[in-house]
């Protein structure tokens, strides 16, 4: 098969389409003929050499895909050859075929085109596992999403609105803020021209928000803690603004705050299966009802993975970027 590989870490130009060995569906796995894969920030980190794949994972980039089941391994009961699926991967999506544990696959939601379904698994599992399973975002609560126009942000806005939360977002341009508002965000903050903590306090009468989903990390930590309400929960999923910051424990103590951080890729297969099952139970009905949709900015041929990475690193996109084998 063809896959995007790289001889060494570096800039997008290191990504090359090559002929490589086909993967094989092992016990409990399915082999997917990839219709599309979607880019994630983690892909650019892996390309630069700072986010290596976990032991046993594919060496190729790509943390989600959609496609058609080509083969099923021993012990697989749910899936059959020919089924259309999308899947959460530990790697290997930038290819024509990928093997994945059967429990990490989901049926393509009714009403969603097969390629567009590639834009769902990583964001849905990230948002549901962090904001809902861990941080317990509930109806009537307030929710701040940093990077509201990102793939994760555009999905988080929609599913949070479906459960009845008041949604705050940050983004860096009027166009991105408008896109967030169109998806349902209630308060849209330009982080380049406004102090988001001050705006949050203004919009909440000084109370703050209940939950924050943050991909920025260190540079936002102090303002995030200021922005949280009593018993507020901060979940950090990225470090675009650095990984090191000082914490004023007096603020954490006085407000009874919870600070958590986690990624999906390093979780065990059992944990991923549990998250995928929760996503299918709680998120899939909203997608199939047309209340939540994947937001796709554009797509590139698999051979143009370098161009897709340059677009992602420019942050000029809204939603997800797809690669099509």
- Asked if residues 1 and 95 have their Cβ atoms less than 8 Å apart, the reply is yes
Indicate yes or no: pTM above 0.85: yes
Per-residue pLDDT, averaged over 191-211, amounts to 98
Tokens 């939950």 correspond to 211
Averaged pLDDT of the chain: 97
Run of H or E residues at 177:
helix 174-183
pLDDT in the model for residue 182 = 98
Q: What are the tens digits of pLDDT across the range 133-160?
A: 999 999 999 999 999 999 999 999 999 9
Rounded-to-integer distance, Cα 51 and Cα 36, Å? 22
pLDDT in the model for residue 320 = 98
Look at phi and psi of residue 238 and say left if phi exceeds 0, alpha if psi is from -120 to 50, else beta: beta
Tell the burial category of 2 from Cβ atoms under 10 Å away from its Cβ (0-12, 13-18, 19+).
middle
Which domains are delineated in the chain? 2-120+265-324 (3.90.180.10), 124-261 (3.40.50.720)
Handedness of CA 22, 59, 45, 119 (dihedral sign): positive
pLDDT in the model for residue 245 = 93
pLDDT in the model for residue 194 = 97
pLDDT in the model for residue 143 = 98
Tokens 């009593």 correspond to 230
Scored b (16 or more CB within 10 A) or e, 130-140 reads bbbbebebeee
What percent of the chain has a predicted confidence (pLDDT) above 70? 100
Scored b (16 or more CB within 10 A) or e, 162-190 reads bbebbbbbbbeeeebbebbbebbbbbbbe
């Amino acid at each position: 098969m063809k896959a995007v590989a790289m001889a060494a870490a570096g800039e997008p130009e290191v990504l090359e389409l090559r002929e490589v060995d086909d993967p094989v569906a092992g016990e409990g796995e399915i082999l997917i003929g990839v219709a599309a894969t979607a880019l994630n920030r983690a892909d650019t980190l892996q390309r630069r050499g700072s986010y290596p794949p976990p032991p046993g994972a594919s060496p190729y980039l790509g943390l989600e895909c959609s496609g058609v089941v080509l083969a099923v391994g021993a012990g697989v009961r749910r899936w059959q050859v020919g089924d259309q699926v999308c899947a959460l991967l530990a790697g290997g999506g930038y290819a024509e075929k990928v093997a994945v544990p059967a429990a990490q696959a989901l049926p393509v939601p009714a009403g969603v085109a097969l390629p567009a379904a590639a834009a769902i698994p990583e964001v849905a599992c990230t948002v549901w596992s962090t904001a809902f399973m861990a941080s317990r975002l509930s109806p009537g609560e307030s929710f701040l999403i940093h990077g509201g126009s990102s793939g994760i942000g555009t999905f988080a806005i929609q599913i949070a609105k479906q459960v009845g939360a008041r949604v705050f977002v940050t983004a860096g341009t009027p166009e991105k803020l408008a896109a967030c508002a169109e998806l349902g965000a209630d308060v849209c903050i330009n982080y380049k021209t406004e102090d988001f903590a001050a705006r949050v306090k203004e919009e909440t009468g000084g109370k703050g928000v209940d939950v924050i989903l943050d991909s920025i990390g260190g540079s936002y930590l102090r303002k995030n803690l200021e922005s949280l309400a009593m018993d507020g929960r901060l979940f950090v999923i990225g470090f675009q603004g650095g990984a090191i910051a000082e914490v004023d424990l007096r603020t954490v103590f006085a407000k009874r705050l919870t600070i958590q951080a986690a990624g999906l890729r390093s979780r065990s297969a059992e944990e991923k299966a549990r998250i995928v099952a929760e996503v299918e139970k709680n998120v899939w009905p909203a997608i199939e009802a047309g209340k939540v949709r994947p937001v796709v900015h554009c797509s590139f041929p698999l051979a143009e993975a370098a161009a897709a990475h340059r677009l992602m690193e420019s942050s000029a996109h809204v939603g997800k970027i797809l690669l099509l084998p």
